[in-house]
Every structure is written in structure tokens, then in C-alpha cells.
């Protein structure tokens, strides 16, 4: 069975290629392709109990306690009643089973929700509404506007001209830009003719199921003709149909075989570092238990040989020494089993559940605008949040909002966008209280657009030629499409948000793009509608880094408008622009220093005769069979020269709120952040500088973009040698022995200086395949690593590489379906619940709405959870080891007879009642410093990364401390009661009095020790500690009464002991002395360490105690980066879009006839970008609307929220 849990996914042999015949279920079923049904649940009513118990008893601890219970029902070796083990075991099994049942019920509910969605399927010439689960490969289905794509489909036809459709791929790649797909003409001609579609019997031969989202290869054979199929003809599950009334598609892949599901990654059971350490420690404890039992069994044999025969008169028994020692071994296995109490696991689950609720209840992690609280979707990983060393982050939608805003511009040597104080001449910081420019003069202005420099509007109204030419270029030079369903209500569909922001800016400043056809572009210039003839689009690609349009204005004048990267445009300017270029360069430096993405604008007037001759050569080159691209590039170079500079634009790729501050704080906590993004290199670099991941102050930023393994290896090696010239080839690997395995661990290497690494997808593929250790070693020496153009699979591979070779805890954070595999691969997965869908959230362990909340999740909740869990474990092992070791010492004084030193009631209640609540109170409420100091001093996080609070060494120290305490707890009461007399002259040295004194000393001592461990006393802690002590004395007096003795003499044999013993003053002095001797070494050791070797926690707590003022509030400073670095080309759309615009394949419904003229009153509702200020979101809808979103197709793979521990 595959990891999707689908029976239909079973394959006898690996699929090499897929063959599909449309409308032929019988033929397709012979290949046993997966159906669209999803099954993620584990149990059904009949299998739940046996399967769940089988899974639970695979845990060593549960199986161990079941074994103990079996021993306790054997009278010959049992000295404890069976209920001391069965009650805790049943409690643990019941609680865990209830939790698993609730999780599986949620999975069943999610499965039904997805499988029962409805879609129209063409069956026998009729459209029938079918459930998703009944859709099969080869079916033809009909999708309607805003519907989720049911499965991976071959697009057949659509409602739009030339069979175009528009899809949103946010669930796949986190991008809200609308993508265009187009059907083949041969299938598009069928339209919505059901008879033609039902008669369609084309055969598809294509690639087998895989996880490549950006590639598809196949062929369609129809009417003896074969047609090539690529990714442009395929709709992937997880997409949403937008702005298209309907379309028909042929199902290629269904259910778990869709590319979306193939990218999910395998769900693995995540365990914390403490859990893994606990497994090792439990095995050690079992060994210690066996060793102690062997020692006592040998002691029993020696005692029986020397003195046992003297007791036959009192205790008749067989004189078989070996058999007696054998029984003694198993008896002590039962008595000493409290070294691994089952209540330990119950308490750990309760602590994790409580700390999970703290995350859910934290108002500082609540995002009010979207009404999104933080959510701990799993309750088993909280303490792992306190040990994170590496963070792997997506860019779009995680660090950025995927919203572009037009912030500033430079026109003819003058910079616009800053607000200047007229009295001081100083630049003012733009705030929300500042009044924006009033665009009420423009009835078509976008009300969402905000701009604060009023001088630019005045320049527009003064009709300055250069300013008009600037915005005219922005309104003409683009590939945006406009839709106007009613008068004045413009909706822009841009392939990249950059273009959308520029066109929206031109719209507000009076140059409104209204509509286009393959031959014309219609704009409204200051209220006057003008139609420009579109003669050519010189499209963008990664080499050109620019795009141009050639247009003829209504007066017949020919012009070329160009925009692109500054370095590219400057090489093609007329020499007369040199002075203007110098001023513009200064402005570009200022813009880039603020992290803005810049473009340079230029134009050129063309001669009619020259253009006619150039156009003829362009046509010949465009139909050439050989070297077509090279010939076109030469023609573009020829015409795009001697241009005149107009100015430059500055767009902000808006970061999520608080991203830069969060990254700064996490860096102080010694957390390394790697950005793994599918964006192009320049975009990723720009964001790296914007959020201070990359800084001008760095010694160097290495760029690895080679296309061969040898070149990649050499570049990585050169970078490593520059960072650390004295490095040796094999000294960076250190062996680490874990349970017999010796995996290689790449150790950290000291580097002088700060370095960054940027590597693209092609180079990363070589690095991960042939030189993963070389890449990892070089990357780990850098402060920041940015991997761009990476696939979802590569993201997961990078995470796995760090997990495999670095002894560090990893966290992955993302917001789209392309981040799911990375989120599942990391130790901790965090989903951002944003406008890019819920795929990442459904697969995550924790989720919230903003990247900035990661700072509080780690530095506050993660650190507290780890600290509390470590304190809990140290104290729990201490109190139980101390409790158990007293039995060990007592054995030497009771003839190794397996008699208990305490009474049965105390043994049963010690972990369940007397010491349970105090340690839980500490584990739920303790904090060394409050949340404000935790955020103010991120260095407090570092000890968690180094596992300083709980480790094998800390465990051994705890065991030694317990050994010492148990010696004091046994021998001080023993010496104090030896040959003593009560106040009334009677003998006070009986077994029952000694047992009561010992257990009283133990209870008081562990409570005093807990008080020393507590850093933060609350009312609850006081209640638990004093209440537990009170409960001990109350139950002790109650259980030692005559009434209970008469009811059950064998269980309540200590009748009257409490009353007779605890009224003696020497008993209380013994209790006080014992407690003092037990805690005195601890106090002395801690005082010595805090004075001589203070930890960061000691220093901060001392600082807090000395300061009278409260903790500082978190700082919200605005980080402004100044540099001389200019950003690259600001576009992110794909190559070839210009050809689509001019090929008549993009046409939508005709625009309404537009009236002209400006009216001062009223503004069009127009285009509504998502986000704040001048934000443009290519979907044209409100960001994060608070509405009930239909569950997506990946929901069946979500990490079901734990509703109980």
C-alpha cells in the first residue's frame, strides 16, 4: 500500500508510460489506474481496538508495564497488589486510544468532505453530477468558474475565445498571479457540444505520475493525427478556475497520482529530540534495574546460604537457594519498577497539551485583520521549538505578501515619492496618519492606491511633458489585460504583480489603460480616450531583462517604449542622456538602498521607412527554421539603441509586517535562516537584502549558477577556501555513535567574517546529487543561504540533507502546496495561513498568519516549553530514583526478602497524588524570565540549541543526586529510630514507624527540592505544593484508622501508626534534618556555579532582579538599509507572454464603450488590489477575506488537530 493509503494505488510493476482513451472506462480500467477517492483514515469500527492496542504496545514502556502486570498476578514473586500497575496502565491506554479515535474521526470526516464534492461528468452523452470519488481516468468533466480542478486534466475546450482559460495556482506554488492555459485547436472546436465531446475518442500517451509541477510531456492521437502535449495544455489538481465561465477536460491522473498529491511528501511520525533521548535513557534504566535486581538476587542467595536456615521455624519454606534467588530477582523487578513510572508518560502528554493551549490562547500571535489565531496542530512537538538551529523559509507569501506597491519614481532627474517638511526641509517618515494624495479628480482612480507626494499630482495637472510621457509609457508598455464588466469598473489581470502595480499607478495619475486588441491598445489620457496601434512587442526574457512595445499614436507618430534593468537600458541610451543618467543613477541608488525594486524607462521615435524595412526582416526571422531566436535577438538589439531616458520606477515587494525585525532577533539567537524559493535569482536576492538576510557589510556573497557538476564543485570549493583558507578536506566529519550506528555528522567550522550563498536550481540539483557534503559544508559556513528556482522536491531534499548530516533541529515554514514536502521533511513544520490557500497549514505542526509570529513561537513558547520539559524530567527522575533507591538500601537490612520499605497505599499514591500536581504545576507555569525579557535577549535561546538543560550528562548528575538523597533518606531515619524510645517509654523502633518516618521525609524532601527548582511561584504552584503536603498527611491519617483496618486488614495494616508516631518531636526533627541534608549540596553547588560560572539565564535573572522598572516592551523600530547596490529587473512574468498578447489568443469579452472626460465627483470602484497602500494583487480580490473557504483537495493530508493529549 502506498503512503496515501489507497488500495487502488497498488501496482504490480512500476508504470513506465500512461495510455488513456477518452470516454472508454472499460479500456482504462484494465490498467488499474487510481480513482479519485481519498482514504487517509487508519481504522474502522472493527479494526480500531486491536490495531490501536497493537500500536500502543509497540512502545517499550507500555509493553514493559504489561509484562510487570503479568508478574504481579503470580503470588510466588509478587509483593505488591496488581492494582498498583493496572490502574495507571489502563489510564494511559484509554487516554491515548481516545485521542487516536478523535483524530481518526476527523480524518474520516475530512475524507468524506473531499470525496463527496460534486462535479459534472460526461457519461453516455449527458452531464451527470457525480461525486469526486467516482471520477475515473479517461472521464471528461466540466468545470465552472471558481471551481477547484478535480484531478489533473487535459484541457479540451473553454468558454473563452481561442479556448483560453485563466487559473489561479496559489494552492500549488503560493502565487496568486493568474496563469493562462490554452486547449488544442482540434479539441477546442468541440466547444460545449456534448454530442461531439461524447463522441471524442482521442488516445493520450503521456508520462507516468510524477511530482514535476512545471513539466508535462505527452501526445494526443485523434483522427489519425498526433498532437504534441505540454504543460500549457494541462490543468493540475489544486488549481482554481478564474474568470472563465466553463471548460471541459479529460482526466489524466486521479487521486494520489495527481502531481499535487505526488508533491505532498511522505508523512512521517515526528518525534522530539527529548523523545529520542528518552528511548536511550529508558534502555539504560532497564539495564540499571536489571543490575540492581541481579545484585539483590545474589545477596538473597548468600543470605539464604548463611542465615536463612535459622528462620525456618518462623517461615517454613524449601531450602533451594538458587530458586529463591530466581524468585527474588523477579520480585525486585516488580518493586523497583518505579524507576520508569508509567505516570511519566501521562505527565509528559499533559504538559505538552497545556503548552499547546498556551500557543492557541496567545493574543500576541492573533492576527486581527484576518481573524486568525495561532494554532498548535500537534501536541507532541512543543519542546522541540526550543532547540531550533536551522529555519527553511519560503519567500512568496511567507517573507513577502506577494503585493507590489508603487512607492517612488524618478522623472527627468527629479525624484518623487518622499514627503518633505516645508519648514525644515527634512524627509518625513510616511505613517498611516499622514494624508494621502487626493485622486478625486480622476473618476477611474483606484481607491486602494495610496501615494503621499503631492508634487507629482501637481506636475500631472501642470501637464509637464516628461511626466506625461513617463505615465504614458507605463500605460502602454505591458502585457496586462483589462476587463470592464460595467462602466468604470476596471479589473486588471496581470501575469506578474509588478506590471499590475505600474499600470495601476499610471491609472491613478490619469493615464488609464482601458482595453486592448491584438492590434491596438486603448488608454484614457487625462480624460481623453486615445487608441494606439500596437505594431510589435519585444518580449521579456532572462537574457534581455527588458521589454519594449512599438506603437503608432493617433497622429501617426511611431514610437518605441522600453522598460528594463538599469544596467541593460543604460547601455542602449543616446549619448545626450549622460547627465540625466548620472542623476537618475543617484536616485536608483537611494531606491535600491531602501530595498525597492527598480526599472528604468526609455523611449525612441522611429522613422516610418526604417520601421517598415525592419518589420519585414522581423517577419522573416520569426518564421525562420534555423537560429530563429538568435536572429530575433539581433533585430531587437538593432532597434533598441540610441533611446532617450525618461526616468525610473521603484516598486516595493512588500514584506510581511515585522519580517526584518524577526530575522534580526532570530539571528541573535544563533538561528540560521535558509530561503528556499521558486522565484528567479534577482527577485530572491532583492528580498534577501530587503529583509536583512543579505547585507552590504558582508565580506562576500557567493553566487553559484553553473550548469555542470565540475563547475559547481569548483565554485563551492573556491567559496569555502575563501571563507576558511586553512580548512582540511576530511576533518569536518565526526562520527556519532547512536545505538550502534555511526552516521557522519558535519561539524560547525569557525569562519572569520559574514558570508552569504545564493545558488540556483540547476546548480543545486548537481550539488544534491554528486557533492552533497561539499555543498552542505560550504552552506553551513555562511550566515545566509538562498536557494532560488528550486522545485518542491529540492526543498525537501535540502531539509533532509541538513537533518542527515547536522546534529541540529530544523524548522520549515511556508504557505503553499509547493512547501508541503519541505514542511513534512523538517523536524517542525509551520504553515502560514495567508491568501495562498491552506495547503501548508493542513500539513503543518503549527500555524499562524504572519511570519513575525515565529519570533514569539520560538523565543517565548518554544524556550519555555523546552525549559519546562527539561525541569520536569530532571525532577521526575530525581524523585523516582530517590524513591526507588531507598528500597535498594533497605534490602540489605531485610534479608533481601523483597519486602517494601513503604506501605502499599503510599506506593500507589506517591506518583498519582502526592507528587503529581506540584511537578505538573512547575511544568505548566514556570518561567525563568517573562516573555518580554525572552524577546529582548534572544541569546537566552542558545542553551536549548546545545541541549544544556537536559542531556545524558544531566541525567547522570540527576541519578547521582538521587543516590545521595536516598542514602540520607534511609540512614538518617534509621539512625534516628535505632534503639529509641517514645515519650511514654515504649519502643519506637518498629518497622511500621520507620516506614512512616521514611515516607514522610521523602515527601517533604521532594517538595522542598521542587521549591528550589521553581523560578516563578504562582498561586497555582502554592496550592499544588502545600495542597499535596496536606493531602499526604490527610490520607496518611485516614488510611491508618481503625475503620479501614476492620474493612480490609491486609491492605491497611498500619493501624494507628500515624497517630502514635507523628506526635513525637524527634520525628519532626528527623524530617527537618533529612530535608536539610538532602538539599544542602544542591544549594551550595548552585550558589557556587552562579558566582563563578554564571549562565546567561543567571545573568539575565540577576539583571531583572536589580532593575526596578518592568521588562521593556518589544521594540518596533523600522529598519532602513542604505547601500549602493542597485536591484535587478523588477519583473517576474514568464517569457513568451508578449507573443500571446499579439497572437489573438488572449482576447476576452469586448470592453464596454467608454465615455471620456474627467468628472471631479465620484470615483470608480475599479480595480481592487489586495493589501495596503498601492498594493497590487493579480487576482483582483480582497486579501484574506474572512469567509468560509471550501476545503481544498489536500485536506485529506492535513495533520489533524489534537483535541486531546
Determine the pLDDT at residue 1081. Answer: 92
CA nearest to 148, candidates 1190, 910, 867: 1190
Q: Which three cell numbers stand for residue 603?
A: 523611449
Residue 1072 scores a pLDDT above 60: yes
Q: How confident is the model at residue 521 (pLDDT cuts 50, 70, 90)?
A: very high
Q: 391 to each of 781, 809, 822, how far by Cα in Å?
A: 15, 9, 11
Q: What's the rounded Cα separation, in Å, for the pair 676 and 399?
A: 11
The distance from CA 374 to its chain's CA centroid, rounded to whole angstroms, is 12
- Provide the sign of the torsion angle of the four alpha carbons 405, 411, 413, 414, taken in this order: negative
Determine the pLDDT at residue 877. Answer: 93
Q: Helix, strand or coil for residue 832?
A: strand
- What is the average pLDDT across 378-384? 86
Cell numbers 519506637: residue: 988
Q: How many other CB atoms are there within 10 angstroms of residue 662's CB atom?
A: 24
Q: Kindly give, in sequence order, each residue whose CB lies less than 8 Å from that of residue 888, ignoring residues fewer than 6 positions away.
A: 292, 296, 336, 966
Determine the pLDDT at residue 288. Answer: 92
In degrees rounded to 5, what are phi and psi of residue 547? Answer: -140, 150
- What is the average pLDDT across 286-296? 91
Edge to edge, the sheet with strand 178-182 lists: 178-182, 164-168, 240-242
- Name residue 419's beta-bridge partners: 428
Q: What's the rounded Cα separation, in Å, for the pair 565 and 283?
A: 63
- What is the average pLDDT across 666-670? 91
Determine the pLDDT at residue 600. Answer: 93
Q: 505 to each of 212, 394, 498, 512, how far by Cα in Å?
A: 37, 28, 11, 9
Average per-residue pLDDT in the chain? 81
- What is the average pLDDT across 358-367? 92
Determine the pLDDT at residue 807. Answer: 84
Q: How many helices (H) and strands (E) does the chain have?
A: 40, 38
- What is the average pLDDT across 92-111? 78
- What is the average pLDDT across 1038-1053? 72
- What is the average pLDDT across 322-342? 83
- What is the average pLDDT across 1145-1164? 39
Q: Helix, strand or coil for residue 688?
A: helix
CA nearest to 209, candidates 255, 166, 278: 255
Determine the pLDDT at residue 389. Answer: 94
Q: How confident is the model at residue 903 (pLDDT cuts 50, 70, 90)?
A: confident
Report yes or no: 408 and 441 within 8 Å, Cβ to Cβ.
Answer: no
Higher per-residue confidence, 1034 vs 400: 1034
The distance from CA 1036 to its chain's CA centroid, rounded to whole angstroms, is 51
Determine the pLDDT at residue 1153. Answer: 38
- What is the average pLDDT across 469-492? 85
CA nearest to 702, candidates 766, 662, 753: 753
Residue 445 scores a pLDDT above 90: no
pLDDT digits (tens, 9 = 90+) for 588-612: 888 877 778 889 999 999 999 999 9
Provide the percentage of residues in the chain whose pLDDT is more than 70.
83
194-198, 475-479, 1126-1130: least confident range: 1126-1130
The distance from CA 727 to its chain's CA centroid, rounded to whole angstroms, is 34
Q: What's the rounded Cα separation, in Å, for the pair 853 and 850?
A: 6
Out of 80-89, 123-132, 565-574, 1000-1009, the most confident range is 1000-1009
- What is the average pLDDT across 262-288? 79
Q: What's the rounded Cα separation, in Å, for the pair 290 and 701?
A: 57
The distance from CA 710 to its chain's CA centroid, rounded to whole angstroms, is 34
Cell numbers 544534491: residue: 768
Higher per-residue confidence, 509 vs 2: 509
Determine the pLDDT at residue 1199. Answer: 33
pLDDT digits (tens, 9 = 90+) for 847-874: 998 899 999 999 999 999 999 999 999 9
pLDDT digits (tens, 9 = 90+) for 772-784: 888 999 999 998 9
236-250, 285-299, 364-378, 430-444: least confident range: 430-444
Q: How confident is the model at residue 1143 (pLDDT cuts 50, 70, 90)?
A: low
CA nearest to 591, candidates 1145, 1135, 1125: 1125
Residue 1124 scores a pLDDT above 80: no
Q: How confident is the model at residue 10 (pLDDT cuts 50, 70, 90)?
A: very low
Residue 1109 scores a pLDDT above 60: no
Out of 8-17, 146-155, 738-747, the most confident range is 146-155
223 labelled catalytic = no
Q: What's the rounded Cα separation, in Å, for the pair 393 and 111?
A: 29
Using only C-alpha atoms, the chain has a radius of gyration, in whole angstroms, of 37
Residue 1026 scores a pLDDT above 80: yes
426-430, 706-710, 842-846, 896-900: least confident range: 426-430
Determine the pLDDT at residue 178. Answer: 74
Out of 9-18, 468-477, 1111-1120, 1193-1202, the most confident range is 468-477
CA nearest to 1121, candidates 594, 681, 710: 594
456-470, 802-816, 894-908: least confident range: 894-908
Higher per-residue confidence, 82 vs 223: 223
Q: How confident is the model at residue 1113 (pLDDT cuts 50, 70, 90)?
A: low
Residue 957 scores a pLDDT above 60: yes
Determine the pLDDT at residue 1170. Answer: 31
Determine the pLDDT at residue 653. Answer: 79
Q: 860 to each of 93, 240, 310, 374, how far by Cα in Å?
A: 32, 38, 65, 14
Determine the pLDDT at residue 854. Answer: 94
Determine the pLDDT at residue 815. Answer: 82
Determine the pLDDT at residue 311. Answer: 66
Determine the pLDDT at residue 1077. Answer: 95
- Among residues 394, 453, 819, 1202, the one annotated as catalytic is 394
Q: What is the pTM (predicted TM-score) of this model?
A: 0.77
Q: What's the rounded Cα separation, in Å, for the pair 968 and 882?
A: 10
Residue 986 scores a pLDDT above 80: no
Q: 54 to each of 43, 57, 379, 561, 769, how far by Cα in Å?
A: 12, 5, 22, 72, 39
Out of 275-279, 529-533, 804-808, the most confident range is 529-533
- What is the average pLDDT across 219-243? 89
CA terminus-to-terminus distance, the chain = 29
Higher per-residue confidence, 238 vs 128: 128
CA nearest to 407, candidates 680, 659, 568, 648: 648
Q: How confident is the model at residue 6 (pLDDT cuts 50, 70, 90)?
A: very low
CA nearest to 264, candidates 214, 216, 213: 213
Q: What's the rounded Cα separation, in Å, for the pair 814 and 796?
A: 12
- Name residue 700's beta-bridge partners: 755
Angle, nearest 10°, between helix axes 916-925 and 343-361?
30
Report yes or no: 166 and 179 within 8 Å, Cβ to Cβ.
Answer: yes
- Provide the sign of the torsion angle of the four alpha carbons 252, 257, 262, 264, taken in this order: positive
Which DSSP letter does residue 70 get?
A: H
Report yes or no: 124 and 25 within 8 Å, Cβ to Cβ.
Answer: no
**Residue 761 backbone zone (phi > 0: left; psi -120 to 50: alpha; other: beta):** alpha
Q: How many CA atoms lie within 13 A of 526 on its CB side?
A: 13
Q: Which three cell numbers stand for residue 506?
A: 499610471
- What is the average pLDDT across 534-559? 87
Report yes or no: 881 and 966 within 8 Å, Cβ to Cβ.
Answer: yes
4-8, 87-91, 460-464, 750-754: least confident range: 4-8
Q: What's the rounded Cα separation, in Å, for the pair 943 and 949?
A: 7
Amino acid at each position: 500500500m502506498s503512503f496515501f493509503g489507497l488500495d487502488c494505488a497498488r501496482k504490480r510493476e512500476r508504470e513506465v508510460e500512461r495510455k488513456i482513451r477518452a470516454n472508454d472506462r472499460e479500456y482504462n480500467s484494465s490498467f488499474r489506474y487510481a480513482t479519485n477517492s481519498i482514504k487517509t483514515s487508519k481504522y474502522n469500527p472493527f479494526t480500531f481496538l486491536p490495531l490501536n492496542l497493537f500500536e500502543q504496545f509497540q512502545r517499550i514502556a507500555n509493553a514493559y508495564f504489561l509484562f510487570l502486570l503479568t508478574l504481579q498476578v503470580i503470588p510466588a514473586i509478587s509483593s505488591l497488589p496488581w492494582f498498583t500497575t493496572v490502574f495507571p496502565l489502563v489510564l494511559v491506554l484509554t487516554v491515548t486510544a481516545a485521542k487516536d479515535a478523535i483524530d481518526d474521526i476527523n480524518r474520516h470526516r475530512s475524507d468524506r468532505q473531499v470525496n463527496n464534492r460534486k462535479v459534472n461528468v460526461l457519461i453516455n452523452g449527458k452531464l451527470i453530477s457525480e461525486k469526486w470519488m467516482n471520477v475515473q481516468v479517461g472521464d471528461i468533466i466540466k468545470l465552472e468558474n471558481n471551481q477547484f480542478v478535480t484531478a489533473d486534466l487535459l484541457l479540451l475546450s473553454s468558454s473563452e475565445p481561442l479556448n483560453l482559460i485563466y487559473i489561479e495556482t496559489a494552492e500549488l506554488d503560493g502565487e496568486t498571479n493568474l496563469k493562462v492555459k490554452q486547449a488544442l485547436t482540434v479539441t477546442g472546436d468541440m466547444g460545449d457540444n456534448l454530442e461531439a465531446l461524447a463522441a471524442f475518442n482521442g488516445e493520450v500517451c503521456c508520462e507516468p505520475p510524477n511530482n514535476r509541477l512545471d513539466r508535462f510531456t505527452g501526445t494526443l492521437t485523434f483522427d489519425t493525427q498526433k498532437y504534441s502535449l505540454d504543460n500549457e495544455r494541462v490543468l493540475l489538481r489544486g488549481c482554481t478556475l478564474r474568470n472563465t465561465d466553463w471548460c471541459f477536460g479529460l482526466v489524466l491522473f486521479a487521486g494520489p497520482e495527481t502531481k499535487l498529491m505526488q508533491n505532498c511528501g511522505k508523512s512521517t511520525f515526528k518525534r522530539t529530540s527529548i523523545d529520542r533521548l528518552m528511548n536511550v535513557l529508558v534502555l539504560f534504566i532497564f539495564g540499571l534495574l536489571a543490575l540492581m535486581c541481579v545484585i539483590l538476587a545474589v545477596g538473597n542467595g548468600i543470605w539464604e546460604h548463611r542465615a536463612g536456615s535459622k528462620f525456618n521455624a518462623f517461615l517454613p519454606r524449601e531450602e533451594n537457594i538458587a530458586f529463591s534467588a530466581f524468585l527474588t530477582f523477579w520480585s525486585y523487578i516488580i518493586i523497583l519498577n518505579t524507576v520508569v513510572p508509567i505516570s511519566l508518560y501521562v505527565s509528559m502528554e499533559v504538559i505538552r497539551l497545556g503548552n499547546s493551549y498556551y500557543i492557541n490562547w496567545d493574543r500576541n500571535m492573533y492576527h486581527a485583520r484576518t481573524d486568525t489565531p495561532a494554532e498548535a496542530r500537534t501536541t507532541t512537538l512543543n519542546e522541540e521549538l526550543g532547540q531550533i538551529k536551522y529555519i527553511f523559509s519560503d519567500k512568496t507569501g511567507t517573507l513577502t505578501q506577494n503585493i507590489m506597491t508603487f512607492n517612488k519614481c524618478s522623472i527627468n532627474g527629479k525624484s518623487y515619492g518622499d514627503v518633505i517638511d516645508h519648514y525644515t526641509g527634512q524627509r518625513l517618515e510616511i505613517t498611516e496618519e499622514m494624508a494621502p494624495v487626493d485622486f478625486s479628480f480622476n473618476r477611474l482612480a483606484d481607491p486602494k492606491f495610496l501615494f503621499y507626494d503631492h508634487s507629482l499630482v501637481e506636475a500631472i495637472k501642470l501637464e509637464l511633458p516628461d511626466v506625461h510621457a513617463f505615465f504614458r509609457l507605463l500605460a502602454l508598455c505591458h502585457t496586462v489585460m483589462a476587463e470592464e464588466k460595467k462602466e468604470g469598473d476596471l479589473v486588471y489581470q496581470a501575469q506578474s504583480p509588478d506590471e499590475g502595480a505600474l499600470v495601476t499607478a499610471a491609472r491613478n495619475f490619469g493615464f488609464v489603460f482601458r482595453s486592448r486588441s491584438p492590434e491596438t491598445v486603448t488608454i484614457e489620457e487625462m480624460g481623453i480616450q486615445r487608441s494606439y496601434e500596437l505594431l510589435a512587442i519585444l518580449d521579456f526574457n532572462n537574457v534581455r531583462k527588458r521589454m519594449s512595445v512599438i506603437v503608432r499614436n493617433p497622429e501617426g507618430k511611431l514610437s518605441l517604449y522600453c522598460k528594463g534593468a538599469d544596467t541593460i537600458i543604460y547601455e542602449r541610451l543616446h549619448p545626450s542622456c549622460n547627465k540625466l543618467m548620472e542623476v537618475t543613477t543617484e536616485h536608483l541608488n537611494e531606491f535600491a538602498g531602501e530595498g525597492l525594486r527598480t526599472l528604468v524607462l526609455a523611449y525612441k521615435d522611429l522613422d516610418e521607412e526604417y520601421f517598415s524595412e525592419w518589420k519585414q526582416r522581423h517577419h522573416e526571422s520569426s518564421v525562420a527554421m534555423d537560429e530563429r531566436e538568435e536572429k530575433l535577438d539581433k533585430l531587437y538589439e538593432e532597434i533598441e539603441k540610441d533611446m532617450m531616458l525618461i526616468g525610473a520606477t521603484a516598486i516595493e515587494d512588500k514584506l510581511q509586517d515585522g519580517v526584518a525585525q524577526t530575522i534580526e532577533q532570530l539571528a541573535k539567537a544563533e538561528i540560521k535562516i535558509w530561503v528556499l524559493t521558486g522565484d528567479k535569482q534577482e527577485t530572491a536576492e532583492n528580498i534577501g537584502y530587503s529583509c536583512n538576510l543579505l547585507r552590504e557589510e558582508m565580506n562576500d556573497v557567493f553566487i553559484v549558477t553553473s550548469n555542470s557538476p565540475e563547475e559547481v564543485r569548483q565554485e563551492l570549493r573556491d567559496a569555502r577556501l575563501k571563507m576558511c583558507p586553512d580548512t582540511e578536506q576530511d576533518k569536518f566529519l565526526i562520527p556519532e555513535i547512536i545505538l550502534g550506528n555511526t552516521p557522519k555528522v558535519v561539524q560547525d567550522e569557525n569562519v572569520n567574517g559574514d558570508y552569504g550563498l545564493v545558488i540556483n536550481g540547476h546548480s543545486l540539483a548537481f550539488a544534491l546529487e554528486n557533492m552533497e557534503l561539499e555543498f552542505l559544508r560550504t552552506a553551513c559556513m555562511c550566515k545566509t543561504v538562498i536557494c532560488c528556482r528550486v522545485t518542491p522536491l529540492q526543498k525537501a531534499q535540502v531539509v533532509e540533507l541538513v537533518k542527515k548530516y547536522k546534529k541540529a533541529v530544523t524548522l520549515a515554514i511556508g504557505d503553499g502546496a509547493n512547501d508541503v514536502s519541505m514542511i513534512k521533511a523538517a523536524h517542525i513544520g509551520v504553515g502560514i495561513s495567508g491568501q495562498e490557500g491552506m495547503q501548508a497549514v493542513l500539513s503543518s505542526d503549527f500555524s499562524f498568519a504572519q511570519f513575525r509570529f515565529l519570533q514569539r513561537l520560538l523565543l517565548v513558547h518554544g524556550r519555555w516549553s523546552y525549559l519546562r520539559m527539561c525541569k520536569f524530567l530532571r525532577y521526575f527522575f530525581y524523585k523516582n530514583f530517590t524513591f526507588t533507591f531507598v528500597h535498594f538500601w533497605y534490602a540489605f537490612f531485610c534479608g533481601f526478602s523483597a519486602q517494601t520499605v513503604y506501605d502499599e497505599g503510599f506506593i500507589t499514591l506517591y506518583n498519582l497524588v502526592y507528587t503529581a500536581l506540584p511537578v505538573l504545576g512547575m511544568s505548566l507555569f514556570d518561567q525563568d524570565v517573562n516573555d518580554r525579557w525572552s524577546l529582548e535577549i534572544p541569546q537566552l535561546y542558545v542553551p536549548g540549541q546545545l541541549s544544556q538543560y537536559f542531556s545524558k550528562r544531566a541525567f547522570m548528575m540527576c541519578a547521582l543526586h538521587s543516590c545521595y538523597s536516598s542514602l540520607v533518606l534511609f540512614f538518617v531515619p534509621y539512625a534516628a529510630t535505632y534503639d529509641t524510645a517514645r515519650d511514654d517509654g515504649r519502643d519506637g523502633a518498629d518497622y511500621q514507624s520507620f516506614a512512616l518516618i521514611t515516607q514522610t521525609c521523602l515527601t517533604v524532601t521532594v517538595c522542598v527540592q521542587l521549591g528550589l527548582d521553581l523560578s516563578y511561584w504562582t498561586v497555582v504552584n502554592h496550592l499544588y505544593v502545600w495542597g499535596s503536603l496536606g493531602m499526604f498527611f490527610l490520607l496518611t491519617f485516614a488510611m491508618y484508622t481503625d475503620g479501614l483496618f476492620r474493612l480490609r486488614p491486609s491492605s491497611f495494616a498500619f493501624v494507628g501508626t500515624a497517630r502514635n508516631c507523628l506526635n513525637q518531636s524527634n520525628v519532626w526533627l528527623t524530617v527537618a534534618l533529612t530535608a536539610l541534608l538532602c538539599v544542602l549540596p544542591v544549594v551550595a553547588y548552585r550558589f557556587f556555579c552562579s558566582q563563578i560560572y554564571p549562565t546567561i539565564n543567571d545573568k539575565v535573572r540577576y539583571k531583572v532582579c536589580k532593575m526596578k522598572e518592568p521588562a521593556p516592551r518589544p521594540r518596533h523600530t523600522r529598519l532602513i538599509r542604505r547601500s549602493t547596490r542597485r536591484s535587478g529587473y523588477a519583473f517576474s512574468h514568464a517569457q513568451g507572454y508578449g507573443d500571446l498578447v499579439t497572437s489573438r489568443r488572449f482576447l476576452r469579452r469586448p470592453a464596454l464603450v467608454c465615455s471620456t472626460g474627467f468628472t471631479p465627483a465620484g470615483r470608480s470602484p475599479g480595480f481592487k488590489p489586495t493589501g495596503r497602500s498601492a498594493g497590487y494583487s493579480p487576482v483582483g480580490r480582497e486579501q484574506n477575506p474572512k469567509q468560509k473557504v471550501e476545503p481544498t483537495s489536500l485536506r485529506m493530508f492535513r495533520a489533524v488537530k489534537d483535541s486531546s493529549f
